[in-house]
Amino acid sequence: MSGRIADSGSHRLVVVPPGGPLRGHAVAVTVGAGTAISHHVPFLMTVGTGPNAIRTAVHAIPLPEVPRNFIAVSKDVADEWDADLEREPWTLDQADTALVRSLTLELPVERDLRKAARDVARAGLAGELIWIPADGSEMSLTVSNLPHRVRSADTAGHTGVIGLITSDTRMEVYAPAVRAGVDIVILADCSGSMDLDDLPADPSSPAALGQPWMTRMEALRHSLGDLLSVRLQVSGRVSRLALVQFNKRTRQLFPQGGGMAQLDGSSPRRDIDEFRRSVRELTSSGGTDIGNALYDAANLLYQYGHAGNEKLIVLVSDGADWEQKGEEGTGEMVEAVTEPVSLMTHLYEDAGIRLHALGISTPELYLRRGFEPAVGMVPDHQLLRRLVEAGGGDPGAVGGLDVLEKYFSSLGTGVTYTVRERLAERQMAGQIPSQTIDALKRLAHDAAHGNWAARCAELSLRIMDGAGNCSGHGVRAFGDPIWEIDRVNQLCERNAHRTASSEQALAKILAQTVHALRPRSDDARLADAASALCLTLDLLAAVAEQRSELADAYYRRFGVRDNVLAALQADAMTRVCEGLTAMHEKLRRLPDHAGRANPPVATEDEPSYRD
């Protein structure tokens, strides 16, 4: 965290109609609000305290219509927060940022995944912000005015940061099983190469049997067992499943009677036991014919898939037996590249059947095991990737037992769909609607005639008290008054009941303040004590001389610009209070004119007026 910009103690948070640049997670601040605020800089807005605090990454948009010491939020954001913004404490802080490499959003309502992915792509998320908490608490992202739960966000390990979504962010949408049924055909490669033991074994796995390595087939059986365990914990929308083994031929193992069967927490015991037996029957032999396997899997989905469910083929293979036999022959590469890819394209585009692929083992694992490179044994996942591209699925996951376990654990709980289009850019500009401008104008009017008037009255009393404290110590230290305290009191009493209505009126107030508070300069110790105050008075005097261009002159001298003159008046009076506080601290440490030192101890009747 690199700095606080504002909080409920220094600013007032108000709600205005949304529109123009003030849309989505954006807040509006006044131009020249004491910091170099730009909509290109992200901020963290925290509303409330404790475990129930709401933390949202926001864009700060400088708008000249926003009065000083006010921050405006759009009504749609306020409704999303559902908090009493007039009473809840809040803060606006700068924070470190990190690029979001990938993001998975859970759909809040039941809908078609392809349409949902398209809408996400076109929702203008590139350039949007999301808070990545360090404590692992839940995250959400609003898309088209609907909050979506964030299942995962990859920011290269950075937490406690604001994540920046770009057009290169890999986006996924996820529908839980209770909202999106999914019919699955698992195509299990049972060619001879699956009997190779080049995968590091999980010591806790029964399949390991105390050995450091396990076969590719053993890893597949173990992962399918995990799939069953997860499916038994889910009940909701109807989902059907079939398990098919393939080499040169296909053979359906589950359900053994053909078709597809529901497999979840509500399934009968006989179906659960049958699936376990089917997994144990997986055996390795021969080569592969992937085209034939895809065709049979599509047939199952077409005939037995539940209406409205997602249709998914999960292809699990090491790819080792896919070798080219020549253009003239009927070898597997001719069958398994030319025909299967075009077949998968047709199944996806015309029948809505998607394909995910899991590549078992890798060339690195194979060589690490100590085997010599051999045709038909080294894993090769090129065809898997091409089939996934054609079948609208996720990029094929490749690896050992850990990759299989992770995939099948999530497969039983819902459906994930990758957003294929590049994310559209967030709309940062646009004309502010007239209703928003009217609300900001009313806010400025109220600030000028309400809050600022009370603020100026309070500051006038503080100046009177601060000047009185300084005057008392001045007489003690120098023997003579440092200014005419009655003139100061009269000025403060008069200013406590008025705020400037024009630049000329403000120039007059500033000039009178300078004249009344300018101390005599015949003593070096007094000049040193009043140095901070005199610097402020010199700058205010220079501003007061520019009667017709006072606001511009004030900005040049102090770096503060405001379209409400009373706000500039309050700022000037605050600076005078600060100068009096610094002067008081120095005067009270001076010895009196008889030589007695005054101990630097605060008294109840001499409060500090540092604002």
Measure the CA angle with vertex 449, ends 446 and 451; round to 5°. 70
Q: Look at the block and give the residue holding tokens 């909202």.
A: 179
What's the full length of the chain, in residues? Answer: 611
Q: Please give the residue that has the higher pLDDT: either 480 or 113.
A: 480
pLDDT at 204: 53
Is residue 121 pLDDT above 90, yes or no? yes
* pLDDT greater at residue 31 or residue 50: 50
pLDDT at 451: 67
On the question of a common fold for 3-95 and 182-412, the answer reads no
Q: Is the pLDDT of residue 580 over 80?
A: yes
Which residue's structure tokens are 């940062």? 428
% of the chain with per-residue pLDDT over 90: 19
Please choose, from the candidates 441, 472, 315, 452, the residue with its C-alpha nearest in 3D space to the C-alpha of residue 381.
315
Query: What pLDDT does residue 331 have?
Result: 37
For residue 414, list its beta bridge partners: 176
**pLDDT value for 46:** 92
Place of tokens 């020549």: 326
Please tell me the predicted confidence (pLDDT) of residue 604: 38
**Phi-psi map region of 358: left, alpha, beta (phi>0 left; psi -120 to 50 alpha):** beta
The mean pLDDT value for 484-508 works out to: 82
Give the pLDDT band (50/70/90) at residue 449.
low
The DSSP letter of residue 202 is: P
How many degrees, rounded to 5, is the angle at CA 66 between CA 62 and CA 68?
Answer: 95
pLDDT of residue 34: 44
Q: Any idea which residue has 């009096």 for tokens?
A: 580
Would you state the pLDDT for residue 597? 46
Q: How much is the pLDDT for 32?
A: 58
Per-residue model confidence as pLDDT tens digits over 335-347: 444 478 888 888 8
* The CATH classification of domain 98-176, taken from the options 2.60.120, 2.40.240, 3.10.330, 1.10.10: 3.10.330
Cβ 526 vs Cβ 474: under 8 Å: yes
Say which CATH class 182-412 falls into. alpha beta
Predicted pLDDT at 395: 53
* C-alpha 110 chain-centroid distance: 24
The values of phi and psi at residue 263, to 5°, are: -135, 95
Residue 37 pLDDT grade (very low, low, confident, very high; cuts 50, 70, 90)? low
Q: How far apart are CA 174 and CA 149, in angstroms?
A: 10
| pLDDT score for 369 | 81
- State phi, psi for 402 to the nearest 5 degrees: -65, -40
- β-pairing, 97-99 with 161-164? parallel
Band of residue 496 on the pLDDT scale cut at 50, 70, 90 = low
DSSP 302-341: HHHPPTTSEEEEEEEE--TT-----SSS--HHIIIIIHHH
Radius of gyration of the chain (CA): 37
Res 165: pLDDT: 95
- Binned at pLDDT 50, 70 and 90, residue 101 comes out as very high
Residue 607 has a pLDDT of 36
Give residue-wise pLDDT tens across range 460-494. Answer: 888 989 999 999 998 988 888 888 888 888 888 87
Q: Burial, 517: exposed, middle or buried (Cβ in 10 Å; 0-12, 13-18, 19+)?
A: buried
The domain locations on the chain are 3-95, 98-176, 182-412, 434-587
Over range 524-542, report the average pLDDT. Answer: 92
For residue 454, pLDDT beyond 60: yes
Cβ atoms of 158 and 98 within 8 Å: the answer is yes
CA dihedral 382, 388, 389, 390 (to 10 degrees): 110
The pLDDT value given to residue 2: 56
The pLDDT assigned to 334 comes to 36
Q: Are 344 and 388 in contact (CB under 8 A)?
A: no
What SS3 state is found at 462?
helix
Over range 507-511, report the average pLDDT: 90
Does the pLDDT of residue 208 top 50, yes or no?
no
pLDDT surpasses 60 at 238? no
CA distance 533 to 467: 11
CA distance 508 to 577: 19
> Cis omega before residue 255 (within 30°)?
yes
**Residue, of 198 and 103, whose pLDDT is higher:** 103
pLDDT of residue 236 exceeding 70, the answer is no
Distance (Å) of CA 577 to CA 188, 409, 511? 80, 66, 16
CA gap 204, 214 in Å, rounded: 12
Architecture of domain 3-95: Beta Barrel (2.40)
Query: What is the average pLDDT value for the chain, to the nearest integer?
Result: 79
Q: What is the mean pLDDT of residues 146-171?
A: 91
Which pLDDT tens digit goes with each residue over 245-301?
998 889 999 998 899 988 777 788 898 899 999 999 898 888 878 888 999 999 999
Which residue, chain included where needed, has tokens 């708008």?
63
Rounded CA-CA distance 512/453 in Å is: 18
pTM of the model: 0.48
CA distance 195 to 216: 6
pLDDT attached to residue 314: 85
**Distances in Å between the alpha carbon of 538 and those of 37, 514, 518, 546, 557?**
29, 8, 9, 13, 10
Distance (Å, whole) CA 419 – CA 415: 13
pLDDT of residue 480: 85
Higher pLDDT, 368 or 166: 166
Taking residues 155-167, what's their average pLDDT? 93
Highest mean pLDDT, choosing among 269-283, 319-333, 417-431: 269-283
| Contact partners, residue 173, CB within 8 Å, separation at least 6 | 104, 105, 106, 107, 113, 116, 117, 120, 416, 417, 419
Q: Looking at residue 220, what is its pLDDT? A: 84
The DSSP letter of residue 384 is H
At 198, the pLDDT band (50, 70, 90 cuts) reads confident
